[in-house]
Structures are given as C-alpha cells and as structure tokens.
Amino acid sequence: MTAAFPASGTILVTGITGFVGSHVAEGFLAKGYRIRGTLRSAAKAKSLEIRWNAAGYAGKFEFVSADLSAENAFLEAAHGVDAIAHVASPVTFTAADPYRDVINPAVQGTLSVLRAAKATPSVKRVVITSSVVSMFQQKSGHTYTEADWNDWASDVVKASGTEASGFVTYLASKAEAERAAWKFVEDEKPAFTVSTICPVYIWGPPINSPSSANGAGLTVQMLYDWITGVTTQLDSSPSFNAYVDVRDVAKAHVEAIIRPNANGRYLLSAGTASWTEIAEVIHELYPERPIPKPAAEPDAPVKDVIYGSRAVKELGIEYKPLTTTMKYMLDEMIRSVEGASH
Ligand code: NAP
C-alpha cells in the first residue's frame, strides 16, 4: 500500500478554465486543498475567480500560464505541489494539422507534466485525464475494460497525414498521450503513483459560466445545439456511445489522488445510450424545445457494454443517471447563455 496522501496541501491542475478542469479544481477545493491552475487566458478564469471567492475559497487558488507545447511547460508551476491533475489537452475535431495542433501538444504536454513531477520531490501522485477513445476498438458488441487499447487510430493518422479526420486525430492524440505516460512510468520508475481516468462522453453543468454556447466545451455545446434548433438531424449512434457526469469525473480525479491504493487505468462510464435515447430523455425534460430528428436509418441500440466498475469499487464513484446529468447541464446552459431560469 502507498503512504496516505496528506489531508491538506497544494494540487496543480492543468487546463483549469476547461469544462472538466474547472470541476476537478473545485473538487479539490471542496476537500480543503489549495489549487494552482494552469491556463492560457487569464480572462477565461474571471468567472471562476468570482465563483470561488463567493464560495469562501478566496486565497486558496491561484492561476499560472502554461502552454502544453512549451519546453518544460510545467516545471515552475509544479514547484512545491503535492500532486498534479493533468487535464489539459486539445479537444477539437477540426484541426488544420493533426500533429502540430492536436497530437504533439497532447503527448508533449503529458510528458512535460511527468518530467516536472519527477523533478519535484514533493509530488506524490499524478492523475491524467485520458479518454475511452484510448481504449476504442473497431468492432461492435465489445465489452470494454481497462485492458483495452486503441492500437489503430495513430496508424490511420500516419497514413492520412493532413487529410486525417479530426475525430480520428483526437482519438490518436489521447491514445498516444496515455501510452507515452505509461511508457514514462515503466522507463523512469518514478517515486509518485500515476492513475489515468478514461471517461466516455462527459456531460453535466459547466461551472466556468459560458456566456455563449461555444464557451461551454465541445460536448456540452453539442447537446445545447439540439435544444436550440442548431442541430436538426441526429447521426447514427456509434457503437461506443456512452455517458458520464462531469461531477463524477471530477470526483474520480480527486479520489485517484487521495486514496492510497488508487493507481492504473480507470474507465469511467455510467452506461451506454444511443443518440435517439438521449434525445428522448431531453425531449421529456424540455417538451417545448426543438429536438433533432432521429438518424434516417433506424438508430440501432448501442451493442457495446461500457461500464466503469473498477472506478465504482476502487474510487467510490456512484454514477449519476442520465436524466439528472442532462437536466443540470441544460438548465445551466439556458440560464447562462439565455439569461433565463428554467
Ligand atoms: P475543454 O473545455 O476544451 O478543456 C480543454 C482544456 O485544455 C482547456 O483548459 C484548454 O485551454 C486546455 N488546452 C488545450 N490545448 C492547450 C494547449 N496547447 N496548451 C495549454 N492548454 C491547452 O475540454 P474538456 O471536455 O474539459 O476536456 C478536458 C480533458 O478531458 C481533455 O483531456 C479531454 O481529452 C478529456 N476528455 C473529455 C471528454 C468529454 O466528453 N468532454 C471525454 C473524455 C475525455 P483553453 O481554455 O485555453 O482552451
């Protein structure tokens, strides 16, 4: 068993202004830790500052600038911290250059975090936000576990170059970054423990209040576009369609740092749902709003089994149901984008 993690201390959170990073940081603040968050734009942290000061966390958080691609990006930021939650990564399906814009920053950023941790003796734990896409198999009807690896997306991007689809590029970036992390652990045998959190589609209420739909993060914006009539037609569901609440994802990061036995990969999924099933849940919650039509072909039920049971057993996650996640998320979007209360 690893030594107990201290009940107070400082956690470095990368990508603190993002959808997931802001929740992860708030999760640590709620447990009594101090936070140092990395960002690229101080302006994006303004609403977090207001929110956390109002919640009584004044003086418990600070922000520092860091870009994933910069040399030794996190060395200074890591100074004196007890643990690092590395959340930042390019989240886009529309990059002009797959390597320059997505894959290289994802891999280099992860390695910079691990090198900074190794150079900082106070660091006891590192948790990295990976994704189920680093496990994703090209067959349907698969039961996902932490033993699965996506060993194909990188080859597709290599073969296609700048013609590679943005989606496959993102898949490759997450698989390569997570592989690089585990190779670092194998080669360097660091004194700190490492966990990777591999969530499926993350939804839930954004806390870094988006004043426009596209400030909320890609996945949240996608469903807000449904109820505002921007998206009128659903795609067919991929076999791996699954969901998890952002608050459960944040908790998994916190528990992976503070629980003595936590380490290794954690698939994070509350269950599967096709686009049509998700649209039905949303339509029941907001019957007066538009909802996209199902895919032209009948939308097949999701055949894969994707459920993160290791995170339930070892991190104490109790997954929120889809309806709860959708209601909190879309109420928050309606409030902050439209200035209305639901
Ligand atoms: P997000 O809101 O776009 O957050 C991404 C964060 O990464 C932002 O803080 C962003 O900074 C930062 N970032 C991107 N490129 C950077 C760079 N070159 N240098 C420094 N920072 C950079 O997306 P998210 O959904 O919260 O994603 C957070 C993490 O969760 C990512 O690792 C993602 O792969 C993972 N994940 C997300 C989902 C999902 O469904 N949302 C599912 C599985 C895994 P800016 O604010 O300055 O842009």
Which residue spans within 125-270 are E strands per DSSP? Answer: 125-129, 193-199, 201-203, 242-245, 264-268
Q: Give the mean pLDDT of 81-88.
A: 98
Q: Give the mean pLDDT of 78-96.
A: 96
How crowded is residue 287: how many other Cβ atoms within 10 Å of its Cβ? Answer: 8
Residue 226 pLDDT grade (very low, low, confident, very high; cuts 50, 70, 90): very high
Which residue spans within the chain are E strands per DSSP? Answer: 10-14, 34-39, 61-65, 83-86, 125-129, 193-199, 201-203, 242-245, 264-268, 271-272
CA of 331 to the centre of ligand 1 (A): 22
Q: Which tens digit of pLDDT belongs to each residue from 308-342? A: 999 999 999 999 999 999 999 999 999 989 985 45
Ligand 1 pocket at CB < 6 A: 15, 17-21, 39-41, 44, 67-69, 87-91, 105, 129, 131, 174, 199, 201-202, 217, 219
- 125 strand-pairing partners: 83, 193
Q: Rounded to two decimals, what is the model's pTM?
A: 0.97
Q: Structural domains in the chain?
A: 10-340 (3.40.50.720)
Q: Give the mean pLDDT of 123-148.
A: 96
Pairing between strand 125-129 and 193-199?
Answer: parallel
CA dihedral 153, 277, 340, 246 (to 10 degrees): -50
CA of 131 to the centre of ligand 1 (A): 11
CA of 250 to the centre of ligand 1 (A): 13
Q: Give the mean pLDDT of 214-222.
A: 87
pLDDT at 66 over 60: yes
Phi, psi torsion values for 196, nearest 5 degrees: -120, 135
pLDDT at 303 over 80: yes
Residue 261 pLDDT grade (very low, low, confident, very high; cuts 50, 70, 90): very high
pLDDT at 98 over 90: yes
Q: Give the mean pLDDT of 284-310.
A: 88
| Structure confidence at residue 294 (pLDDT) | 83
pLDDT at 19 over 70: yes
Q: Which tens digit of pLDDT belongs to each residue from 150-194? A: 999 999 999 999 999 999 999 999 999 999 999 999 999 999 999
149: left (phi over 0), alpha (psi -120 to 50) or beta: beta
How crowded is residue 73: how many other Cβ atoms within 10 Å of its Cβ? Answer: 24
Judging by beta carbons within 10 Å of its beta carbon (0-12, 13-18, 19+), is residue 139 exposed, middle or buried?
Answer: exposed
